[in-house]
């Protein structure tokens, strides 16, 4: 094991644009073991508690049809994608506490599995494995992984968007641009904090490709980005008007407290604490 780890230490200091080797069978075995172990850990005691208030909202809304879910979320303060996913998932696996929370577990595993793909391609296999382990081992993964809420999938979509956006600009592959666009759109339809995150990400990426166009006359990346971003905005455009109306309603009874020193500390500590 030490020899294997040592053989991949060099990948941590390789340039980002260097060629990343393909996954070998040892890597496949280690990643498989970590993901299976993660699934086991994340599902221990997953159904031992009844649904709390926010979870009960998720459980109740999937009693409706998908068009009704879209109408209900439009009248509330959420985007609809997670609830549609939960509706489809529950049709296959049932509506017990365990079944409803299992979708969130899969969100954690999807986030961890990014280590096998885009994280490996950017940083190498060794760092990809460290990333996968850290995602699974983080206390917050259990906290939000055992809730019938959209947070694990929001984390997955945002992280995937950032990674594929970087790879698309670095390597110029059409498949990466498509994945970047789809995960950006999925982020926006999953949670509004995820929408804020990918908005900031896109501002940074646009500045990057624009600078590349000005300095290096890199027209290809700028064109690819504008096409991808334009397609995302076009798909999200019908929901933007709903978002504005939701923001007006929420602003009258906003539940987020003022930013204080204690709030900042609690925010930084949250990923390392148990639920509640």
pLDDT tens digits, the chain, 276 residues: what are they?
A: 444 434 443 444 344 444 555 778 888 999 999 999 999 999 998 888 888 888 999 999 999 999 999 999 988 888 999 999 999 999 999 999 999 999 999 999 999 999 999 999 999 999 999 999 999 999 999 888 999 999 999 999 999 999 999 999 999 999 999 999 999 999 999 999 999 999 999 999 999 999 999 998 889 999 999 999 999 999 999 999 888 887 776 666 666 778 899 889 988 888 887 776
> Torsion angle, CA of 230/231/237/238, rounded to 10 degrees?
160
For residue 15, what pLDDT is reported? 43
> How many domains is the chain partitioned into structurally?
1
Instruction: Flag whether 87 is in a domain.
Output: yes
Instruction: Flag whether 247 is in a domain.
Output: yes
Instruction: Flag whether 265 is in a domain.
Output: no
For residue 217, what pLDDT is reported? 85
Residue 187, CB-side half-sphere exposure with 13 Å CA sphere: 26
Instruction: Flag whether 206 is in a domain.
Output: yes
Instruction: Flag whether 128 is in a domain.
Output: yes
Per-residue burial over 140-159, b if 16 or more Cβ lie within 10 Å, else e, is bbbbbbbbbbbbbbbbbbbb
For residue 245, what pLDDT is reported? 81
Instruction: Flag whether 262 is in a domain.
Output: no
For residue 53, what pLDDT is reported? 86
Contact (Cβ atoms closer than 8 angstroms) between residue 126 and residue 9 = yes
**Domain with 123 in it:** 23-252
- Length, in residues, of the chain: 276
Instruction: Flag whether 18 is in a domain.
Output: no
Instruction: Quote the CA–CA distance of 78 and 250 in Å, as a whole number.
Output: 11
For residue 251, what pLDDT is reported? 62
pTM metric for this prediction = 0.88
Instruction: Quote the CA–CA distance of 94 and 115 in Å, as a whole number.
Output: 30
Instruction: Flag whether 80 is in a domain.
Output: yes
Instruction: Quote the CA–CA distance of 187 and 166 in Å, as a whole number.
Output: 16
List the one residue out of 181, 151, 178 whose CA is nearest residue 81. 151
Contact (Cβ atoms closer than 8 angstroms) between residue 78 and residue 100 = no
């Amino acid at each position: 094991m030490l020899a294997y780890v040592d053989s991949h230490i060099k990948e941590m200091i390789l340039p980002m644009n260097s060629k990343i080797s393909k996954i070998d069978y040892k890597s496949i075995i280690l990643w498989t073991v970590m993901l299976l172990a993660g699934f086991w850990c994340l599902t221990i005691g997953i159904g031992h508690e009844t649904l709390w208030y926010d979870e009960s909202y998720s459980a109740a809304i999937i009693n409706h049809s998908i068009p009704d879910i879209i109408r209900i979320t439009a009248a509330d303060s959420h985007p609809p994608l997670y609830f549609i996913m939960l509706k489809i998932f529950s049709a296959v696996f049932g509506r017990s506490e365990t079944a409803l929370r299992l979708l969130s577990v899969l969100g954690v595993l999807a986030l961890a599995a990014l280590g096998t793909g885009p994280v490996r391609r950017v940083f190498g296999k060794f760092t990809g494995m460290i990333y996968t382990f850290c995602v699974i081992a983080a206390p917050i993964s259990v906290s939000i992984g055992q809730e019938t809420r959209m947070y694990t999938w929001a984390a997955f979509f945002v992280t995937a968007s950032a990674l594929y956006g970087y790879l698309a600009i670095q390597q110029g592959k059409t498949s990466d641009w498509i994945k970047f666009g789809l995960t950006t759109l999925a982020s926006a339809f999953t949670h509004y904090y995820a929408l804020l995150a990918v908005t900031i990400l896109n501002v940074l990426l646009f500045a990057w490709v624009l600078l590349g166009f000005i300095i290096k006359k890199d027209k290809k990346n700028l064109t690819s980005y504008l096409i991808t971003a334009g397609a995302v905005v076009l798909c999200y455009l019908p929901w933007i008007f709903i978002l504005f109306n939701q923001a007006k309603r929420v602003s009258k009874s906003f539940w987020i407290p003022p930013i204080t020193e204690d709030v900042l500390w609690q925010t930084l500590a949250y990923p390392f604490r148990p639920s509640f």
